[in-house]
Amino acid sequence: MVLLAVMASFLPPLVVLPVHGIVQLGFPKAARGAVMRAHIHWRIAGYFFLGSIVGVVLAAKVFIALPVGVLQALLGLFVLYAVWAPKLRPSSIPLAGFCAGRGLTSFATLFVGGTGPLVSAFFSPGHLGREKLVATHATCMTIQHGLKGIAFGFLGFQFLPWLPLKGL
C-alpha cells in the first residue's frame, strides 16, 4: 500500500495503476510464487483465475468510461481505507465462492490497485497452513496483476516508457 501511495504522489493518475500492477507482478509476487510453487493450492488458483478474468474484463469496460477525477478519488479513498480501516479477517468460504470473490477483487484492482489485503480476506490460514497460504496468495496476486496489465495494454496503455520503474 505504501508503494501505491508513493507512486500516486508523483505519477500521473492514469499511469499509477498500470505501472503499480507491473511493478508488483515481478519480484514481490511472481518470484514468491515461483520459489514456493510446490506449496501452491492449484485448485484455488484456478478458481481465482476464472473469477479474475470476468472481473478484469468488466472493470476495463467501466474504467474507460470514468473521468480521471473519479479514478483519483477512488484510489485516494482506497489508500485511506486500507491504512485506517480495521483489517479484514480471513474467512473460510466454499471453494466455488472464490470465483465470485476473486471476480470482485479483480474488478476493484483496475480502480484501486493494491487489492492484496482484500484477497487475503478470502484465505483461511487454518485451512491452508502458512506455506500454502503464502504461495497461493502470491500466485493469485500474480494472476490478478498479470490480467490487469493485459487489460491496460488492450486499453492502449504504453508500458515501455515506464519500464525503468519496474526496478522499484
Extents of the domains making up the chain:
16-153
Q: 21 vs 13, 42, 125, 147, CA distance in Å?
A: 14, 22, 25, 9
Report the 3 state secondary structure along 113-140.
CCCHHHHHCCCCHHHHCHHHHHHHHHHH
pLDDT band at 110 (very low <50, low <70, confident <90, very high): confident
24 or 142, which is more confident: 142
Average pLDDT over residues 113-138: 82
| Predicted confidence (pLDDT) per residue in 35-66, tens digit | 888 999 998 888 889 888 999 999 999 999 99
Average pLDDT, the chain: 83
22-26, 122-126, 138-142: least confidently modelled range: 122-126
Residue 94, C-alpha cell as written in the block: 466454499
Q: Which of 163, 138, 155, 120 is nearest to 36 (CA)?
A: 138
Coil vs helix vs strand at 94: coil
Of 45 and 166, the structure prediction assigns the larger pLDDT to 45
Evaluate the CA torsion angle 35, 37, 39, 41 in order and state its sign. positive
CA angle (96, 98, 101) in 5-degree steps:
130
For the segment 118-139, the average pLDDT, to the nearest whole number, is: 83
Residue 2 has what pLDDT? 77
Residue 168 has pLDDT above 70, yes or no: no
Across 76-80, average pLDDT: 86
